[in-house]
Copies of this chain bind each other. A is one copy, B any other.
Amino acid sequence: MQNVGAMREAGAASGLTERQGAVLEQALRLLVDGGEKALTTAGVARAANCSKESLYKWFGDREGLLSAMIAFQASKVRTLDVSAAKLDGDSLRVHLVAFAKDLLDVLAGDVSLALNRLAIGQASREGSKLGHMLQERGRRQIGRRAGALLEAGRKAGLLAFDNADEAYGALYGLVVSDWHLRMLLGEEPGSLKKDFSRRAERAVDAFLALYGAKR
């Protein structure tokens, strides 16, 4: 793993021991590499050099392991909100473009795609809270950053909207469109990732045309 410090912090924040965090890291790696089918309890135990008995002691059952994986991954993401006090038209656009590009990068990430596929696969059987967890811990997190940015823009007189959620929904849709679904369906991200910057700029331009305050 490439970031032990962040992992330890994430584990501590979730009440996990460092060892358990390492196990979850290996589980995520298995999931990313081979999909849900490859994520067997025996496989996790083998990859993490621990026993199945420990897995069941720590996480209860397979569902608990999956939940812990999602919570663990979410706890690693830290949303740095750079809500600058001074915003002009250019800096707002820069911040929006940076947000849009970050959003695309996050959604296109290996771990994000794997966890979303996992939660979607579990969503059919009712009672599975994985989808709700992913929604709450993932979307809310990045949504807060966007909400703060939009609110700052409005307070600075640069944006005009009544409903912040609606404005955020429009921004999200313009940025992401159907790319997330296409990546989830396995479309080769080769040609997609290259255009992220251009796509983010185009989307932000459209968003500003819709919600930018008349100069």
Contact = CB atoms under 8 A, between A and B. Distances in A.
Interface of A: 34-37, 114, 116-117, 119-121, 123-126, 128, 131-132, 134-135, 139, 166, 169-170, 172-178, 180-182, 184-187, 202-203, 206, 209-210
Nearest to A209: B210
A125 B177 CA distance: 25
A120 B117 contact: yes
Contact of A132 (B114, B166, B186): B186
A204 to B, nearest CB: 12
Q: Is the interface of A mostly helix, strand, loop or mixed?
A: helix
Contact of A35 (B34, B124, B184): B124
Given A174-B170, A178-B172, A206-B170, A185 B121 contact: no
Contacts of A36: 121, 124
Contacts of A180: 178, 181
A185 B37 contact: no
Nearest to A174: B173
B120 A166 contact: no
